[in-house]
Amino acid sequence: MPQKILPYQWYALILRDEAPSFSDLDNNISEEDLWQIGRDNGVLALTNHKLVNSATLASLPQTYRERLHKYSLNAAATELGQDHELQKVLSLFTNAVIPFLLMKGTPLAYTHYPQPYLRSRCDTDILFNNKDDAEKASSLLETLGYQRPNAVSGEFVSHEFSCHKTDKLGIGHTLDMHWKLSNAQRFARAFTFTELADSSTPIAELSEHVHALGPAHALLLACMHRIAHKPEGMENRLIWLYDIHLLAENFDNNQWQQFISLAKEKGMGGICLDGIQQTRKTFFTDIPGHALNQLEEAASNEKHSTEMGESRLTMELSNLLELPGWKERVGLIKERVFPDANYMMVKYDTQKKALLPYLYFKRAAGGLFKLFR
């Protein structure tokens, strides 16, 4: 009797076009659990697309099949509204002569997926040259009705903020405004905006003026992004691995060499190797042998590795050690433990400043619990 499989494996098989039957799933898995795992991994609409007219789709319970179809229709409709809004926003930045680059899921949705709605995402990530440009862009967004949620801020603790609005149709629009690639200090200073812009690629579907990270940088960022989310156990989220799969499968020899050179130069051979190996294991991605060999060699000579993301503690220690001196390290600790008083009062819904010492203690205690959990 064939061995039963778990939902994560089931979805992975569908994404690599092997189309397992519903009966191949472990009998202890409920329909609701199957749905939730697909949703958590961001692959429900993509699953529906892969299963069109397949025997697997016919084998699904009717309730699940109908739910999947309805989810996909809603995702497609939502995408239309978000696409229109995004074009309006990016035109606003272009007209104001604020340089920017798209990164992560949104540009890949247009360049590597059959339809943008198939690449699920909760926001659009936009990289600016510096914080001042991000703030200018935020001021422009206010004219369109965007607001900034309450969030921790500072010179070291965060290199981004969000802007959000809900339109008249009830569609949510969230923009993550970055001035560095990542909040992880290991990655934040890895690239300048100029070097990313110099090898950027146009996203013609949005506008002739809109550019995104070039393929080599996009793949490097996808591998970096995995490790940054490793402490939460999310590094193998299927939609993120599928991004890596699609990028890698479309690389030519020149792009592989550019990617490998960047990984070596930035000391990220191990991080890139980890992402590519996991993707290859999950989707049988066709990776050239010479690329794997060169990444393995680079990883063996690096002081940094994927261990930086093994836990929240190792990630925080990495963040501290990557800063240039103790002044900056103390600054990061201060911003992490003692964020702005206005942020604290909004977060804990109080106007009583006398409560701040208690609230800071509560925050510190909760942070320590998470750190050593």
d(CA 349, CA 367): 19
Report the length, in residues, of the chain. Answer: 373
Give the relative orientation of helices 238-249 and 7-15 as an angle to the nearest 10 degrees: 20
Residues 6+ apart with CB under 8 A from 220: 259, 262, 263, 266, 268, 272
Cβ contact 157:182 at 8 Å: no
Q: From first to last of the 373 residues of the chain, give the pLDDT tens digit.
A: 367 889 999 999 999 998 788 888 888 889 999 999 999 999 999 999 999 888 888 888 999 999 999 999 999 999 999 999 999 999 999 999 999 999 999 999 999 999 999 999 999 999 999 999 999 999 999 999 999 987 777 777 788 899 999 999 999 999 999 999 888 777 888 899 999 999 999 999 998 899 999 999 999 999 999 988 888 888 999 999 999 999 999 999 999 999 999 999 998 999 999 999 999 999 999 999 999 999 999 988 876 566 655 677 777 777 767 777 777 778 777 877 777 878 778 788 888 787 777 777 887 777 765 665 6
Q: Tokens 């191949």 belong to which residue? A: 24
